Structure 1
Amino acid sequence: MPTEWKLFADLAERAGDKQVTVDASAGDTVDDALVELVEDRPAVGDRVLTDDGDLRSQINVMRNGTNVLVEEEGLETELEEGDELALFPPVSGG
């Protein structure tokens, strides 16, 4: 089962699309799906990952509308069939 990422703001611009399908299935983790996304769209990786390959602190990773980074399992949260994943860059305004 492929998994779809929804990308917002400059992340969509870097990916060339607002939605990107990756090869991640139920039982894989959110991190597995993120790795697939970054391998498929390296420009997204440049924006969301540090030079050490860690997720930048200002990036929000959502699974079914919940930020996985505030959940106990974090990026190791297992995917279930039909999950919706999304990446949000920091938002500022005034």
Structure 2
Amino acid sequence: MSTEWKLFADLAEHAGDKHVTVDAAAGDTVGDALEDLLDDRPALEERVLDDDGELRSQINVLRNGTNVLVEAKGLETELEGDDELALFPPVSGG
């Protein structure tokens, strides 16, 4: 089974596509799926992770429309079948 990431704004440009399928499956975590996404995409990794390899605070990671970073488990949130993952850059209002 695989999971699809939807990437928005400049993150899609860094990844080379707006939709990227990774090998993460039910039982894996959102963090596992993120690792798979970043594995062969150094430009995206540099944009999403800081120098310590931690997720930059402004990056939003959504699972089925909910920001996992505000949930109790964060990147440790387990995937279920047919989850939709999305990665958003910082959003600024105007």
TM-score range, shorter chain: over 0.9
- In the superposition, the TM-score normalised over structure 1's length comes to 0.96
Which residue matches 2:13?
Answer: 13
Which residue matches 2:25?
Answer: 25
Unaligned runs of 5+ in 1: none
Which residue matches 1:86?
Answer: 86
* Alpha-carbon distance in structure 2 between the residues aligned to 1:66 and 1:46: 24
Aligned residues: 94
* Alpha-carbon distance in structure 2 between the residues aligned to 1:93 and 1:75: 26
TM-fit CA distance, 1:93: 4.5
Runs of 4+ in 1 over 3 A off after TM superposition: none
Percent identity for Structure 1 against Structure 2: 80
Q: How does 1:1-94 map to 2 (within 5 A)?
A: 1-94=1-94
TM-fit CA distance, 1:18: 0.3
* Alpha-carbon distance in structure 1 between the residues aligned to 2:11 and 2:85: 13
* Alpha-carbon distance in structure 2 between the residues aligned to 1:14 and 1:93: 23
> SS at the partner of 1:90?
coil
Unaligned runs of 5+ in 2: none
Aligned CA-pair RMSD: 0.8
TM-fit CA distance, 1:40: 2.7
* Alpha-carbon distance in structure 1 between the residues aligned to 2:41 and 2:81: 23
- In the superposition, the TM-score normalised over structure 2's length comes to 0.96
TM-fit CA distance, 1:82: 0.1
